[in-house]
Amino acid sequence: MRRGEAFVPHLTRAAPPGEPPAGDLDGDGTVLVTGASGALGGLVARHLVTERGVRHLLLLSRRGGQAPRMAELVAELTDLGAGVRVAACDVADRDALAAALADVPAEHPLIGVVHTAGVLDDGVLSSLTPDRLEAVLRPKVDAAWYLHELTRGLDLSLFVLFSSAAGVFGGAGQANYAAANAFLDALVEARRGEGLAGQSLAWGPWAEGGMLERLGDADAQRMARSGVPPLSSEQGMQLFDAAGALPDAVLVPVRLDLAALRRQSAGKPLPVMFRSLVRRAAPRAADGAPASGGGSFADRLRPLPDAERERLALQLVCDRVAEVLGHARGADVKPHDAFTEMGFDSLTAVELRNRLNAETGLRLPATLVFDYPTPMMLAEHILGEAAPAKAATRSVLAELNQLEAAFAALDTAGEEPVAEVTARLNALVAKWNESRGQNEAHGQATVTADDVGTTLDTASDDELFDFIDNRFGR
């Protein structure tokens, strides 16, 4: 909101950069890299030395020189001619970070910061706790703020925060991570407002290293199907340099499969961020073909007989399950197999829910696959939600079938049970006719409560059952 007017951001292609910076950093200055023991931190450190002219590095990680891969990285950078200092430092601890910065030698002053550290703790929003929020926000938000605060008085030529596209267009199950990275994007805008160096790079997924290496194969495949395939290390570093040649405070270095995004838009709404890049595809019917007539899912169900409704609902569920799991077709999904056995977790459950909501217009819960644990049960639920009147009719008929079975087991030797049942049936049918005004089902004329009462009072057991069958259907 700006002065009472609402603005909605869209992704657009960045202007073509000028010549990517090469050897642009003062060789006598020191560049600090956080998360240096991680794959991305190591990749950035090597790139700064080999491509950007850096000769002095301060590498920070929680375990310092004891971190896995750190010794190999230091040896490699040293062989490349760089002077490397390693410190065990929790960057989210202000005092510890201040002490590490104080050790930077005066002859090689700090000229740059690259903050790559981060932690994932994915889960649906309702599962997040204060501890789970803190675990993700602390290494991003607290660390970035202290880096900003403690270097504010220095003449830095480089202050780059590794943010995430999750903070730009959202990520299923990543509410905490998205919030942390949105803070980083806002922080560099604030720095620019103060005349300080700053750039936030909201990265898409990386094929090697980054947060993707902590995800399972199913999550990685889901991200690729979503139209955002991972970046290779070479592509990532090319984008790192290209971003440095652009004046923008916040950039989104990401690979986009625009064709996949367009296909996706036929089954569910795209994030608003993509709408300047992707032309929306035609809506898709449950069988994957373009939907005809433009009617809602409920409209398509309305003229169909029961069996066809059930088939359409089940096909819809199986087709969307196949998309989420990466199967070639819905026919590969077995209707009575449990979702948990298929490999569903909370994140794939959210993706399935989103797709079904978009296709049906319903507001289904995120716990859908756990509440209705097979495709068949889920299809029955969706059918009941999309066509509740028809579902209610089936429910009433099912209850009458149970009532008929109960009649068969009833002891009619005494007068008392028969009289009580007769009176209840008499009242029920009277209410039914009163609520409907008239009942012409099966071509029968209107029946008054008195007529019904007379019929029930004088009927035998067999006649009573025949009456129920004729009036309500077997």
Q: What is the tens place of the pLDDT at every residue in 89-110?
A: 999 999 999 999 999 999 999 9
Per-residue pLDDT at 419 exceeds 70: yes
Selection from 135-144, 259-268, 374-383 with the highest mean pLDDT: 135-144
Three-state DSSP at 424 gives helix
Per-residue pLDDT at 266 exceeds 80: no
From CA 382, how far away is CA 300, in angstroms rounded? 13
Instruction: Number of helices (H) and strands (E) in the chain: give both, helices first.
Output: 20, 7
Q: Report, in this order, helix, strand and coil percent for the chain, each rounded to 5.
A: 55, 10, 40
Q: Are 156 and 111 in contact (CB under 8 A)?
A: yes
From CA 414, how far away is CA 324, in angstroms rounded? 61
Q: How far is CA 259 from CA 44, 185, 227, 277, in A?
A: 31, 28, 8, 11
Pairwise pLDDT comparison (405 vs 372), residue with the higher score? 372
Predicted confidence band at 71 (pLDDT cuts at 50, 70, 90)?
very high
pLDDT reported for residue 440: 47
From CA 160, how far away is CA 158, in angstroms rounded? 6
Pairwise pLDDT comparison (128 vs 266), residue with the higher score? 128
Q: What is the mean pLDDT of the chain?
A: 83
Per-residue pLDDT at 56 exceeds 50: yes
From CA 380, how far away is CA 374, in angstroms rounded? 10
- Walk across the sheet containing 83-88 and list its strands: 83-88, 56-61, 30-34, 110-115, 158-164, 199-203, 250-251
Per-residue pLDDT at 309 exceeds 70: yes
Pairwise pLDDT comparison (278 vs 149), residue with the higher score? 149
Over residues 422-442, mean pLDDT: 69
The token pair that represents 56 in the structure block? 């002095």
* Rg, Å, the chain Cα set: 32
Which helix (H) or strand (E) covers residue 72, if one does? helix 70-79
Q: Which of 12, 44, 41 is nearest to 25 (CA)?
A: 44
pLDDT reported for residue 293: 45
pLDDT reported for residue 43: 96
